[in-house]
Amino acid sequence: MRSLPLEGHAHRLGKSIAYFETHVDGGIERSRSEFKKGDVAFLPSTGSICFFLNDAVFTKTMTPIGRLDGNIDALKDVKSGDVFCIYEETT
């Protein structure tokens, strides 16, 4: 949360993962390699935030950081070069 807002260009890894690289430098906690559709995870080796579009088993372990609600299938239309932005809404 201290690193927000985060922004970066989208990348795709097959049909299961959309991700973007960040400047966040952190270690791994509660590591997992199996994720469900809608999971959000942090990959410390590249500082990437990963969105799982389908259930997947990844070769590297990641830190689970959240879960997406709503229309997850909308992310399947993300193309390389699109921009992801994560921010905290304030009222």
Distance, in Å, from the CA atom of 91 to the CA atom of 78, rounded to the nearest integer, reads 28
| Residues 2-31, mean pLDDT to the nearest whole number | 88
Amino acid 54: pLDDT: 94
In this structure, whether the domain defined by 6-75 belongs to CATH 2.40.100.20 is answered with yes
> pTM of the predicted model, to two decimals?
0.88
Amino acid 1: pLDDT: 66
Amino acid 37: pLDDT: 95
Tell me the per-residue pLDDT of 21-53, one tens digit each, with 9 for 90 and over: 998 878 788 899 999 999 999 999 999 999 999
| All structural domains of the chain with their residue ranges | 6-75
Instruction: Assign 56 to helix, strand or coil.
Output: strand
